[in-house]
Amino acid sequence: MNTPRYIIGIDLGTTNSAVAYVPADTDRVEEASIRLLEIPQLVDAGVVASRPLLPSFVLLPTAQDVPRDALALPWDPNPGMAVGEFARRRGEEIPHRLIASAKSWLCNTLVDRKARILPWDEAAGGSPSATEGKMSPVEASAAILRHLRLAWNHVMARSPSGETQAHLAMENQAVFLTVPASFDPVARELTVAAAQMAGLPKVTLLEEPQAAFYAWIAHHAERWREVMAPGDLVLVCDVGGGTTDFSLIQVADDQGRLSLERVAVGNHLLIGGTNMDLTLAYALARQLAEGGTRLDSWQMNGLWQSCRTAKERLLSEPDLQRLPVTVLGRGSRLIGGTISTDLTRETAEHLLRDGFLPLCDREDRPQATKRAGIQEFGLAFEADPAITRHLAAFLDRAAADGRSAAPTAVLFNGGVMKSALFRQQILTALDRWSPSGTVREIDGADFDLAVARGAACYGLAKQGTGIRIRGGLGRAYYIGIAAAMPAVPGLPAPTKALCVAAFGMEEGTTAAIADREFVLRVGEPVVFDFLGSTTRKADAVGTVVEDWEEQIQPITTLETTLDGEPGQILPVTLELHVTEVGTLELWCVSKVDERRWKLEWNVRER
């Protein structure tokens, strides 16, 4: 394959997606060199225009909802669906045809994420008999990524004759796709599967908070000393449409150069703009009910989508004080009339600030509420929506590692953080918790586009152009291997600890134990024990520790059945890859054929 011409960063967002790119031969990381793709998309029935953001919505209309020829795109005269701006707007009117928050469904462990359950229908419950006209979360994510790929190929790789030039096609570039820092291994695998389904056979995953910080690096280039000083501990606070992510990055001076180390990553929090939109929808529904108008579930879904648009405008346009919110009525007439009410700035700010960002004490923790024994299926939102209490808990966990967890600066990212009111509320909370004084906000690049820009910047850093955020492993990792010895009645074979990842090993690196041979049992249930140590810092990859109980602790156990003939035992070597998103991939490589088996676990989970 030819050397990629471009490094491409893709932000597959819950609410909006974006694409940034930079020539692969760029020798300096500067914001000006990172460009944004203007994405062609339907903005109205039969109308195509280019926008820097692609709303992450998929509309699956019938011919009665939207004429088929009105969905045509420059590269597909009959796509059968709409992705982007028109999907979002028309979907507010026919919400039962709209897939929203597909990214959040990717990490919902309570559903089969490969089953066709979206748009979610509470009445049908996602049953197999109700899958006509639906997509799985993976397929919906793939539809968004496919639109981005085909839009790129149309804009950047089209020849004068209209054909796609292979050497410029997105699938042949270096593509970096961002995910929440807290995505579990399954959600990450499903994201990769969606990319492959979309025609992107090879992508590299990158955490969104790290990408936001890389965008900051590109924004400030060599002027970082004007903004930060060695010793700063930067909180990256990323609140998007569906998730909230926290990361801590330590700033140091390495012989006059900026040195960055990511020292903590938060848990997965399904809190974001989607929760806020639903809060506003329920508030307006109560307001309508007091006036004698009650909404059914279909209308509530439409109101939820309409509140999102109104909220975004109210929080980003300071001069607006109120906006009408309209939902289709139910009736015998063609449209059935409409129901309208107003959402005021005062209502939005009061509900969202006090409900999602209450000022709390440093010792406060997310509140556990009593749950109903049976509840409707759907997205697994956090029981406590208070982002500030989740932030206090994150800082407490970070401090448990023995490091300072008092941020001196905050980098905000995500669409929700476009609101100056919300940013100030978090800064006020951090000031109350800080032992050393005021916590300052550092200027970011763009709340909507920073993650895509940062992913492209990271691609440059990975090939040696620019600063790279270090995130070396905070412990050494081992896998248990059974000793080869004669069986003794009543005594299991002793387990030795094989070091597969050394202390401080950088994420994005690979190591191999090629000089030793192991045996692997396939085709039947087996158990793998994963171990770790914070004290054995000198163990290299491949070190075998026989007497390990005092210095090495069990972390987790994986029970699985590896593909193969039942009971077959194969000679293998081992390869270890530490990914950029915090997982260890241990590959067992057959010595007799081309087969490889992957064992994976998240080193950030406790």
Contact status, residue 183 vs residue 220, Cβ threshold 8 Å: no
Instruction: Count CB atoms within 10 A of the CB of residue 605.
Output: 15
CA distances from 162 to 6, 75, 156 (A): 21, 10, 11
Cβ-proximal residues to 573 (8 Å cutoff; 6+ apart), any chain: 512, 513, 514, 516, 517, 518, 588, 589, 591
pLDDT for position 492 = 60
Single-letter amino acid code for the residue at 495: T
Question: Helices 345-356 and 273-290, interaxial angle, to 10°?
Answer: 130
Can you give the pTM of this predicted structure? 0.81
Check: CB of residue 496 under 8 Å from CB of residue 483.
yes
Q: What is the pLDDT of residue 451?
A: 94
- pLDDT in the model for residue 40: 98
Q: What is the CA radius of gyration of the chain?
A: 26
CA distances from 416 to 14, 238, 459 (A): 12, 9, 26
What is the distance of C-alpha 34 from the center of its chain? 22
Please identify every stretch of the chain with a pLDDT value under 70, giving residue numbers as ranges.
1, 31-32, 121-131, 182, 222, 256, 268, 330-337, 369-381, 400-404, 445, 471-472, 484-493, 582, 603-606
Strand-strand pairing, 233-239 and 409-413 = parallel
Structure tokens at 520: 């692997």
| Residue-range domains of the chain with CATH | 6-206 (3.30.420.40), 273-356 (3.90.640.10), 477-602 (no CATH)
Alpha helices in 36-184 (DSSP H): 85-93, 102-106, 137-156
From residue 248, how far is each of 187, 251, 471 by CA, in Å? 23, 10, 11
Residue 67 and residue 80: Cα distance in Å, rounded? 10
- Ramachandran category for residue 603: left, alpha or beta (phi over 0 → left; psi -120 to 50 → alpha): alpha
Bond before 494 cis per omega within 30 degrees = no
Using CB atoms within 10 Å of the CB of residue 130, give its burial: 0 to 12 exposed, 13 to 18 middle, 19+ buried. Answer: middle
- E-strand ranges in 486-582 read 495-501, 510-522, 525-533, 544-545, 553-561, 568-578
Identity of the residue numbered 571? P
**Tokens linked to 538:** 């000198």
Q: Hey, how many other C-beta atoms are within 10 angstroms of the C-beta on 472?
A: 15
Look up residue 568 and give its two tokens: 């077959």
Our CA dihedral for 124, 125, 129, 130, rounded to 10 degrees, sits at 60
DSSP category for residue 300: H
- Using alpha carbons, select from 102, 95, 107, 58 the residue that is nearest to residue 382: 107
Among residues 173, 222, 210, the alpha carbon closest in space to that of 37 is found at 173
Type of residue numbered 584: L
- Report the DSSP pairing between strands 583-590 and 82-83: unpaired
Question: Residue 532 and residue 4: Cα distance in Å, rounded?
Answer: 38
